[in-house]
């Protein structure tokens, strides 16, 4: 069942989304060659605490950290470590969540470290563009498959591959609520109808190879099969009578890319 939020609940979600976006903006400014993912994790933990919130991922199914930090071929769920030091040319995805006043917020970005390859930059920009395309489909009366198709088509149109094993989700009193929102799919496949009051976390993941993903022996880190690059970004959005609203709005760098 898909939870429809009251305006009071929506106000809490809106506030939490804005808080998380501000934290992500701070974290992004710290990313540079030479720092470790554990350093970013410590900062994230501190920033969440400062806001009177609790880290959502720490302890979730025993995940050991505040953020997921996934570098290059790592797609999602990378575990921060003092041994993972960012190098010029890497791309890093940071996925972060918090809970405050009974409601979750969830967001992810992928950021270039120093100078990255043309392919890496394109992959990041297309993943962001796919997210925008997905958000554009969040309309009253549309179906979940409209979102999925828009995201997948953007990624595939650029010559990349959507990650099929992980999906976006509803969010609210639970971190992962119904509906599940795949990042690919044919148009007009139905799925749940979108209604005012729904809050969704859309999170396209794109990669450079077409093979199924793998999970590393740590039980968490998801990687591409051939070590090709992957990117991931996520926004929380609310659907109201006035339309779609991005709750985790952040200023992305000016450079953008368009889907075909």
Contact pattern for Mg ion over residues 126 through 145, marking x by CB under 5 A: --------------------
Q: DSSP state, 4?
A: P
**Burial of 51 per CB tally in 10 Å (0-12, 13-18, 19+):** middle
| Cβ atoms < 10 Å from Cβ of 219 | 11
Residue closer to Mg ion (CB basis): 116 or 238: 238
Residue closer to Mg ion (CB basis): 146 or 203: 203
Angle 7-30/37-50 helices, nearest 10 degrees? 140
Q: Are 72 and 229 in contact (CB under 8 A)?
A: yes
Residue closer to Mg ion (CB basis): 145 or 248: 248
Residue closer to Mg ion (CB basis): 96 or 116: 96
Beta strands in the chain (DSSP E): 54-55, 67-71, 74-76, 91-100, 103-112, 161-162, 168-170, 177-181, 199-202, 205-207, 214-215, 222-223, 230-232, 235-240, 243-246
Contact pattern for Mg ion over residues 96 through 115, marking x by CB under 5 A: ----------x---------
Residue closer to Mg ion (CB basis): 79 or 116: 79
Q: Are 196 and 5 in contact (CB under 8 A)?
A: no
Residue closer to Mg ion (CB basis): 73 or 177: 177
Minimum distance of Mg ion from residue 32's CB (angstroms): 26
Minimum distance of Mg ion from residue 236's CB (angstroms): 8
Contact pattern for Mg ion over residues 191 through 220, marking x by CB under 5 A: ----------x-x-----------------
Q: DSSP state, 62?
A: G
Contact pattern for Mg ion over residues 26 through 65, marking x by CB under 5 A: ----------------------------------------
| Cβ atoms < 10 Å from Cβ of 218 | 11
In 109-255, which ranges are continuous DSSP H helix?
118-136, 144-157
Minimum distance of Mg ion from residue 82's CB (angstroms): 26
Q: How many residues bind Mg ion (CB under 5 A)?
A: 3
Residues that bind Mg ion (CB under 5 A): 106, 201, 203
């Amino acid at each position: 069942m898909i939870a429809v939020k009251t305006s009071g609940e929506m106000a809490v979600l809106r506030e939490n989304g804005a808080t998380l976006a501000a934290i992500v903006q701070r974290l992004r400014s710290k990313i540079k060659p030479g720092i470790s993912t554990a350093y970013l994790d410590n900062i994230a933990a501190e920033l969440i605490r400062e806001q009177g919130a609790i880290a959502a991922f720490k302890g979730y199914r025993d995940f050991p950290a505040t953020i997921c930090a996934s570098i290059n071929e790592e797609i999602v769920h990378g575990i921060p470590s003092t041994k993972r030091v960012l190098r010029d040319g890497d791309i890093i995805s940071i996925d972060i969540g918090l809970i405050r006043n009974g409601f979750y917020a969830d967001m992810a970005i992928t950021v270039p470290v120093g100078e990255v390859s043309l392919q890496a930059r394109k992959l990041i920009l297309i993943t962001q563009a796919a997210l925008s395309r997905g958000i554009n489909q969040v309309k009253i009366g549309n179906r979940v498959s409209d979102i999925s198709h828009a995201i997948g088509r953007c990624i595939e149109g650029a010559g990349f591959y959507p990650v099929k094993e992980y999906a976006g989700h509803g969010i609210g009193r639970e971190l992962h609520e119904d509906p599940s929102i795949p990042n690919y799919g044919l148009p007009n496949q139905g799925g749940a109808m979108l209604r005012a009051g729904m809050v969704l976390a859309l999170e396209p993941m794109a990669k450079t190879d077409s093979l199924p993903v793998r999970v590393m022996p740590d039980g968490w880190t998801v990687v591409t099969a051939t070590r090709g690059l992957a990117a991931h970004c996520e926004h929380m959005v609310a659907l109201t009578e006035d339309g779609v609203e991005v709750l985790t709005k952040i200023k992305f760098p000016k450079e953008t890319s368009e889907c075909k």
